[in-house]
């Protein structure tokens, strides 16, 4: 009963999509998107900038009367899930005009000539229905710099792009068609696309801040039954790095769990589970007590103990050995401090590296070098990456405050990182490697020392973790305080 009610929203709006064109995959048109600016939260600047586009569509005379040229193209730039499509639909919804959309990625697999003719069809239909919005998602898939060689010369893509440029030049700015395109790679776009009269306006749509996340949660909580124990502020606090889509998914996931558990309202428990599910993966059945389980427990306790005793880390939120989908055996996670996941100072980074090595350090300390497992693989990758940055970019080693690598390919949290040509001599490369090793070995030694010197405490925590499968931060600190004589308040207030 509750399920239908709670889920209805996720499919709303897709019902009235229609298609045109002669061949299979086409563009689609929604006569009414039904999306309003009120449905978009957390990206206020982008909204403000685009408010004007609504006015262009509704009252073009106001601009043409004074001789102002209405822009034709707006490029929305930002990582996935931040609400670019939603925003484009909201413009159409607010202006009460039809919404034509197509995705650049659909052109990639087509036969020569099909993409270009599809673009022609799209503009023809749009002109017949002006005023309207044309939305081109993932424009980078067609709009890459021509002849740039990624994937070799792609005739089809170039023909499609040329057709798009021709169409954009082929109508006046005041015909009431506004083209909105979205991308997360503005740097690869063909410069011809960005010339005046084409996509000459760029609007950034970034991951939301704390306030933004709160706003987005409010939008998506509107149609859900939340128990009074659920604090949207607290959720916003705990979800730095979440996009609007992640937040929407998380609330929906929580609602599904609520229905599945036959509860009347979403409680903090469902929210917790939904956040873990989005960030870490699905819960799987716990392992039986076995050597593997013990090893996992030592590994996670290694992380959790270091997180608790090292001064420059956020305190532990919880540690668990309930396995998750995606090969996760367990995890220890900190309470996010404030708005964003920022570690900044040298000592914070060093503590972070030490904590990340804590899992492997515990395995090695307790089971010996030959028994260490692959469980630390991603920890080790994280460490290697951070240590390298300390040396080559942040100027935090005794090679001095120099940036040896620019890392300018690193768009949006390094998702698109590509190795670059060497920017330094071979000799420097050797020195860099030596510094990186020094950092990692020093932190690893420190992690092992702390685990060794607190062996009784570690064993006690491991037994408890095997027994309970999850230890919350408070309970964990109580035990650590007992064994180390460090006051509990001090461990909690970092
Ligand atoms: P993008 O196009 O940037 O990848 P979408 O617009 O497709 O992101 O977002 C997917 C879904 O996530 C939206 O339909 C909406 O439910 C939710 N969402 C994303 N950003 C926001 C936002 N800023 N405000 C409200 N909901 C959002
Ligand atoms: Mg999108
Ligand atoms: Zn680990």
Please state the rounded mean pLDDT for residues 399-404.
Answer: 73
What pLDDT does 326 receive?
67
Distance 146 CA to ligand 1 centre (A): 30
Average pLDDT score over the chain: 83
Share of the chain above pLDDT 70, in %: 83
Going by CA atoms, what residue is nearest to atom 11 of ligand 1?
245
403: which DSSP letter?
Answer: -
* Packing angle, helices 426-453 and 455-468, rounded to 10: 80
Would the CB of 90 count as within 6 Å of ligand 1?
Answer: no
Q: How far apart are CA 54 and CA 45, in angstroms?
A: 15
Predicted pLDDT at 435: 92
Architecture of domain 291-412+419-492: Up-down Bundle (1.20)
Where are the CATH 1.10.8.60 domain residues in the chain? 210-279
With beta carbons less than 8 A apart as the criterion, state whether 157 and 108 touch. yes
Instruction: For the domain covering 210-279, report its CATH number.
Output: 1.10.8.60
Q: Phi then psi for 297, rounded to 5 degrees?
A: -65, -45
- pLDDT for 231 equals 96
Q: What CATH number has the domain spanning 21-204?
A: 3.40.50.300
**Would you say residue 442 has pLDDT above 70?**
yes
| Per-residue pLDDT tens digits for 199-257 | 988 999 988 989 999 999 999 999 999 999 999 999 998 888 889 999 999 999 999 99
DSSP state of 316: E
Between the CA of 60 and the centroid of ligand 2 the distance, in Å, is 27
* Whole-number pLDDT of residue 395: 83
Choose between 487 and 16: higher pLDDT.
Answer: 487
Percentage of the chain exceeding pLDDT 90: 46
Residues lying with their CB under 5 A of ligand 2, a single-atom ion: 85
In the structure encoding, which two tokens stand for residue 115, read together? Answer: 């993409």
* Structure letter (DSSP) for residue 147: T
Q: How far apart are the first and last CA of the chain?
A: 45
**Residue 477: pLDDT over 60:** yes
- Asked if 308 and 491 count as a contact pair (C-beta separation under 8 A), the reply is yes
Residue 437 has pLDDT above 50, yes or no: yes
Q: Is the CB of 81 under 6 A from ligand 1?
A: yes
Other beta carbons less than 10 A from residue 413's beta carbon: 11
Q: What is the largest CA-CA distance in the chain?
A: 81
Q: Which of 78-87, 276-285, 448-457 has the lowest mean pLDDT?
A: 276-285
What pLDDT, in 10s, does the model give residues 41-69? 999 889 988 998 999 899 888 888 888 88
Of 156, 270, 300, 446, the active-site residue reads 300
Q: Reply yes or no on whether 438 is catalytic.
A: no
Residue 152's Cβ-side half-sphere holds a number of Cα atoms within 13 Å equal to 2
Per-residue pLDDT band at 338 (split at 50, 70, 90): low
Question: From residue 21, how far is each of 107, 110, 157 by CA, in Å?
Answer: 14, 14, 19
User: Could you read off the pLDDT of 356-383 as tens digits, one per residue?
Assistant: 999 999 999 998 877 777 777 788 888 8
Q: Rounded to the nearest whole angstrom, what is the distance from the C-alpha of residue 414 to the centroid of ligand 2?
A: 20
Instruction: Kindly give the interhelix angle for 291-309 and 346-367, rounded to the nearest 10 degrees.
Output: 150
- Tell the burial category of 155 from Cβ atoms under 10 Å away from its Cβ (0-12, 13-18, 19+): exposed
Positive or negative, the CA dihedral 421, 427, 431, 437 is: positive
CA atoms within 13 A on the CB side of 239: 35
Local confidence band at 25 (pLDDT 50, 70, 90 cut-offs): very low
Query: For position 110, what pLDDT does the model report?
Result: 58
Confidence of residue 133 (pLDDT cuts 50, 70, 90): very high
Determine if ligand 1 sits within 6 Å of the CB of residue 40.
yes
Q: How far is the CA of 361 from the centre of ligand 3 (A)?
A: 10
Which residues belong to CATH 1.20.58.760 in the chain? 291-412+419-492
Q: Is the pLDDT assigned to residue 408 strictly greater than 70?
A: no
| The pLDDT value given to residue 154 | 62
Examine the pLDDT at 117 and tell me if it is beyond 60: yes
CB-facing half-sphere around the CA of 135: CA atoms within 13 A: 21
Q: What is the band of 407 on the pLDDT scale with cuts at 50, 70, 90?
A: low
Ligand 1 close to Cβ of residue 258 (< 6 A): no
Q: Which residues pair with 74 in a beta bridge?
A: 180, 201
What is the reported pLDDT for 7?
21
pLDDT of residue 103: 87
Q: Please calculate the CA angle 93-184-213 and round it to the nearest 5 degrees.
A: 60
């Amino acid at each position: 009963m509750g399920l239908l009610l709670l889920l209805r929203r996720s499919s709303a709006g897709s019902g009235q999509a229609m298609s045109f064109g002669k061949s299979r995959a086409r563009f689609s048109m929604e006569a009414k998107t039904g999306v309003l600016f009120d449905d978009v939260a957390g990206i206020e600047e982008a909204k403000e900038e685009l408010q004007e586009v609504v006015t262009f569509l509704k009252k073009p005379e106001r601009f043409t009367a004074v001789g102002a040229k209405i822009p034709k193209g707006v490029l929305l730039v930002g990582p996935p899930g931040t609400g670019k499509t939603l925003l484009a639909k909201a413009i159409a919804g607010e202006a009460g005009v039809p919404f034509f959309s197509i995705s650049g990625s659909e052109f990639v697999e087509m036969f020569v000539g099909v993409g270009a003719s599809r673009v022609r069809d799209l503009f023809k239909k749009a002109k017949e229905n002006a005023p309207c919005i044309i939305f081109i998602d993932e424009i980078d898939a067609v709009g890459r710099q021509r002849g740039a060689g990624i994937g070799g010369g792609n005739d089809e893509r170039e023909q499609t792009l040329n057709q798009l440029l021709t169409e954009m030049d082929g109508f006046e700015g005041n015909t009431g068609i506004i083209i909105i395109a979205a991308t997360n790679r503005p740097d690869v776009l063909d410069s011809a696309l960005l010339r005046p009269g084409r996509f000459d306006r760029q609007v950034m749509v970034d991951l939301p801040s704390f306030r933004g996340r709160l706003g987005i949660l409010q939008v998506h909580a509107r149609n859900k039954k939340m128990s009074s124990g659920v604090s949207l502020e607290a959720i916003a606090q705990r979800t730095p790095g979440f996009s609007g889509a992640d937040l929407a998914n998380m609330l929906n996931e929580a609602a599904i769990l609520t229905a599945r558990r036959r509860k009347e309202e979403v409680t903090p428990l469902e929210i917790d589970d939904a956040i873990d599910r989005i960030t870490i993966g699905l819960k799987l059945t716990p392992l039986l007590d076995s050597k593997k389980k013990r090893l996992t427990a030592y590994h996670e306790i290694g992380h959790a103990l270091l997180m608790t005793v090292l001064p420059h880390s956020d305190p532990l939120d919880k540690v668990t050995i309930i396995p998750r989908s995606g090969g996760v055996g367990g995890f220890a996670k900190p309470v996010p401090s404030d708005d964003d996941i920022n570690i900044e100072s040298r000592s914070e980074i060093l503590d972070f590296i030490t904590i990340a090595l804590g899992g492997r350090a515990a395995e090695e300390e307790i089971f010996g070098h030959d028994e260490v497992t692959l469980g630390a693989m991603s920890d080790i990758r994280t460490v290697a990456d951070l240590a390298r940055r300390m040396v080559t970019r942040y100027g935090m080693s005794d090679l001095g405050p120099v940036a040896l690598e620019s890392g300018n390919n690193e768009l949006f949290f390094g998702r698109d990182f590509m190795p670059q040509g060497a920017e330094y001599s071979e000799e420097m490369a050797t020195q860099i490697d030596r510094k990186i090793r020094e950092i990692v070995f020093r932190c690893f030694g420190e992690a092992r020392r702390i685990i060794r010197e607190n062996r009784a405490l570690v064993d006690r925590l491991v037994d408890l973790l095997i027994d309970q499968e999850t230890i919350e931060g408070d309970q964990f600190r109580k035990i650590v305080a007992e064994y180390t004589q460090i006051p509990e308040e001090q461990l909690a207030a970092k």
